[in-house]
Amino acid sequence: MSTAVGQIRLLLVEDVPQVSQYMRGLLNAQSQVKLVDIVSDGGRAATQARQLRPDVVIVDWLLQGRTKGDKVVAQLREAGLGIPVVVLTVPQSPVARNPAAGIHAVLGMPFSGFELVSVVAAAHQAALAATEAAQSRLVTVYAPKGGVGKTTVAFNLAVAVAQGGARTALVDGSLQFGDLRSLLRVPADAPSILDLPTDRIGESDLQDVLWRDPSGIDILLAPPRVEMADMVSVRDMEKAISLLRRLYAVVVVDMPAALGDIPLALLDAADTILEIVTYDSTTIRNTLAVAEAFRAIGYPAAKVQYVVNRADSSGGIDAEDLARALGRVPEHTIVSDGRLVVQANNEGLPFVLANPDAPISRDVARIAAHLAGAAPLAAARR
C-alpha cells in the first residue's frame, strides 16, 4: 500500500464498526495521516504490525474480543517493533500514559479530527526524536558539593570530545548562577535558554541562541540573572535537550549541586552521570548521600561514573579508603595542575587546548575518548 512522502502510516485496532467508520471518515478528510488497515481481532494486532510496519498504532482499550486492549498493548511492546502505541479510551475507563508499559499517548473519546491527527503526529514525532537521540550521548557532570572543579571539568571535557571529532554541545544547567557565563566571561546580553520559544523549538531557533565558543563547541547558556532561573520550566529544558540530542553527537551538561525538578529531569535523561569527587571528607560524605538517593530513584550502578579530581592531592585520605567508601574503584582520575588551570580559566580558555600535552589534559582527553566511544545506554526513568 503506497502512501505520500511524509505521511504517517497508522494501524487501527478496533472492533466496534461505528468507531472504525467514524475514524476512517476523520482521516479521509486530511492528508497527514494514512490509515493502512483496521484490525478487528486484537489477537492479530502484533502480526499485522510486524507485516505492515506502521508508524503508529491506535488500540482501543475497551476491545470486546478475547484479546483485550491491555493484552494487545503488551503484545506490541513484547514484539519489540519500536512502534508507538496510542490508547483509545473513554472517561469512565481512564488510562495513564506509560511509555515503559508500551502506552505512548492516550486519546479520549469523544475527539475531533484535529485531536486525532495531533495525538498521532505527536506520538510519531516523539518516537522519531527518541530514535535520533539514541544515536547521541547525554553526559551530565555533577558534584554534590561546590569547589571541586566541576564546571572546569565539564567545559574542558566538552572541548576534548569535540577535538575527537564528535559534534558537541555544552549546556549550563546551573540556571541560577550561570557558572559557564562566569568562567567564559560571556557578555550579559548574550542569549540564553530563555530566548528559546515557549511552544515548539526548531533548529533555527536553537542556532540563534547558542553561544559559539572559539574552542569549537556550542553552548546553551543559563539566564543572565539569578531570579530569571524560575522562568525556566522542566518542559523548557526537556525540549531543548531533545533537540540538542538530535543535532549533536554528544551533549554535556554542567549540573548544579542541588537536586531540584530540573536537575533530576536532566539526570534521568542522562546516559552517563560523571560525578566529581575529591579527597575531601565533606565531599565524600555528600557523595555517599547522593549515591543512596540515586539507588532509591532506581539508577543502575553503571549509569554513574566517578571522577576523582585532583587525584594526586590526597589530603591524607588513602585511595583505597575512598574506593571502600564508594563501594568500587572510581572509573576516572584527573591530576592537579593549579597553575595551568587558573591561568586558562582567567583567560576563559580550555586548558586542554592551552596545553594538550599536560598530564591533566591527557587525563581529560582519556575520559572524553571513553565517553565518545561508549554505546548509548537506556536512560533510567524515575
The pLDDT of 6-19, averaged and rounded, is 90
Q: Please name every residue paired with 351 in a beta bridge, in sequence order, or none if there are none.
A: none
**Residue ranges of the domains in the chain?**
8-132, 136-373
Radius of gyration over every alpha carbon of the chain, rounded to an integer in angstroms: 24
Q: pLDDT tens digits for 25-53?
A: 999 998 889 999 999 999 999 999 988 88
Q: What is the pLDDT of residue 374?
A: 54
> With contact defined as beta carbons under 8 Å apart, do 49 and 11 qualify?
yes
The region of weakest confidence among 60-74, 200-214, 283-297, 319-333 is 200-214
Q: What is the pLDDT of residue 311?
A: 94
The region of weakest confidence among 133-142, 144-153, 184-193, 260-269 is 133-142
Q: CATH topology for 8-132?
A: Rossmann fold (3.40.50)
Q: Is 185 left (phi over 0), alpha (psi -120 to 50) or beta?
A: left
Distance CA(240)–CA(218), nearest Å, equals: 13
Locate 253 and state its grid cell. 551538561
SS3 content of the chain, % helix, strand, coil (to 5): 45, 15, 40
Q: Is the pLDDT of residue 54 over 60?
A: yes
Tell me whether strands 304-309 and 332-334 are parallel, antiparallel or unpaired. Answer: parallel
Nearest CA to 66 out of 87, 45, 86, 85 is that of 45
**Confidence band, pLDDT 50/70/90 cuts, at residue 3:** very low
**Confidence band, pLDDT 50/70/90 cuts, at residue 243:** confident
**Confidence band, pLDDT 50/70/90 cuts, at residue 134:** low
Q: What is the pLDDT of residue 381?
A: 31
Q: pLDDT tens digits for 303-341?
A: 999 999 999 987 889 899 999 999 999 999 999 999 999
Q: What is the pLDDT of residue 127?
A: 84
The pLDDT of 206-221, averaged and rounded, is 92
Amino acid of residue 244: L
Q: What is the pLDDT of residue 306?
A: 97
Q: What is the pLDDT of residue 343?
A: 95
Share of the chain above pLDDT 70, in %: 93
Q: What is the pLDDT of residue 313?
A: 87
- Tell me: domain 136-373, CATH 3.40.50.300, correct? yes
